[in-house]
A and B are shown apart, each in its own frame.
Chain A
Amino acid sequence: MGAFWRVGVMVLLVGVLVAAQFLRADHWYPLGSLGQYAYPRDPDGDVINTYVMGVTTTGDEVRVGLTPGSAGISRVEFEVQLPEFQADPDLLGDIVEAWQDSHPPHVLTSVTVYENISPMSAGALASEPYDTVVLTWEVP
């Protein structure tokens, strides 16, 4: 009898994994979409790298590193949630607080989100990357 439930569990889990691929169900982890680098990036498109700079109370411009250890969030997570930050920039407050906690004695007065843009052509880097500003948020 034992073999039957073992086969059952196996078939069920594999079935869930296969379904997750078609549904692109990332949040079905551990049987979610295995979509890492699965998206076919436009070989003639732009590559966007998001980064955050802050201005401290002493007037210095500092890089707010997007890692869980530095700001409680990774760069990919930040980019996934970027539309939410654009809709409600106050959400950046959590990140500012986490970064200040891990970088005493720095206190930020404002943060600016940048996108660094690298143009590609035929699936390779084609020209020099450049920066654009996404949003600036004054810390209340």
Chain B
Amino acid sequence: MTAALALARRVLAWLVPALPRARVAWVRTALAVMAVLDVRYFLNSTGERGATPDLFAPVLVAEWLHLPPVTDGVAQMLFVGVHLGAAAVALGGFTRVPAAVQHAGGLVLGGSYLLWVLWAMSYGYVSHDHMAIVIGMLVLPTAGTSRYGGGPAADSVAGWPLRMIQLFTVLTYLGSVLAKYVFSGGSLLRWATSGTLAWAFIRRPNDVNQLLVQHALLLRAAQWGALLLEIVSPAVFALRGRWLALAIGAFMSFHLATFVLLGIHFLPTVVCWSAFVPWERLPAWWRARRRTAALAPA
């Protein structure tokens, strides 16, 4: 009985962990900057759909919200909302700015970005790099007030949204393994030995991937490598310090490779890895560095 209770406590402490509150401010700003880049340069299609309302094929959540096809006016409002919300979130991280600024900013940014993304996904094609960031935008406001310079003080109200972002970041990879399993009729072996990578290269030809597209053995090895990396992704939760940094580096390299080979940047998911990074140590590290520099003989 007590063993079961102790286990339940441990599970709870993992799902809703106490994590540094200051990290929320850093992660919020990282996601906010990504949202601005996204609506400007990457997922900018929402602003271009006004002319083709007949092609509107709403995703489920868009249907629940009774969203009509997007118009140019609404798209512009959301575009402005993402910018204003992001600016408020970024500024709100400083101690001198009233807490209401980051609270309002978080809601405006979350709402505007969610609608923007829902519309972007509602014209036939749904992309898969926008899961963790949207979950993050929705849960980060529950953390309450957070400042860049808050230090290592940790609590579970701040920890939960960070854990949610970490979890859904990892699930982006692990879930895709499950999808491969299902799409391959229950055999990951079939996926690993398929022509998927060559297919992808032929679909998105560039100078680099055209060098590889005729090399069957190399393509197969790359498919095995990608699949194994995705399968072991949950291991990052067991890693600390340098090993965690190394693992994050491995995933960054994976995304760099898919960017070079396929032009797929996956930045909205890449940014969510920030929830694993101890940004809260940055201000103290910076101060210490400046102090050492000041003390050093000229």
Contact = CB atoms under 8 A, between A and B. Distances in A.
A7 to B, nearest CB: 5
A131 B59 CA distance: 34
Q: Find the residue from A7, A47, A49, A78 having the highest chain B CB count within 10 A.
A: A47
Size category, A interface: 35 or more
Secondary structure at chain B's binding surface: helix, strand, loop or mixed? helix
B25 to A, nearest CB: 20
Given A40-B194, A73-B52, A124-B215, A34 B179 contact: yes
Nearest to A117: B202
A105 to B, nearest CB: 17
A35 to B, nearest CB: 5
Contact of B198 (A10, A18, A22, A124): A124
A118 interface: yes
Contacts of A38: 176, 179-180, 182-184, 191
Interface residues of B, number: 66
A29 B183 contact: no
A22 B182 contact: yes
Contacts of B289: none
Given A10-B164, A47-B202, A32 B126 contact: yes
Given A30-B131, A73-B55, A3 B12 contact: yes
A68 B48 contact: yes
Across the A-B interface, give the 8 residue pairs with the lowest CB-CB distance, nearest first.
A77-B124, A40-B194, A72-B52, A43-B195, A68-B45, A124-B216, A41-B199, A34-B176
Interface of A: 2-3, 6-7, 10, 13-14, 17-18, 21-22, 24-45, 47, 49, 68-69, 72-74, 76-78, 80-81, 91, 94-95, 97-98, 101, 118, 120-126, 129
Given A18-B178, A41-B196, A123-B219, 9 more contacts: A6-B15, A10-B15, A10-B167, A17-B131, A34-B172, A39-B183, A68-B123, A72-B48, A73-B52
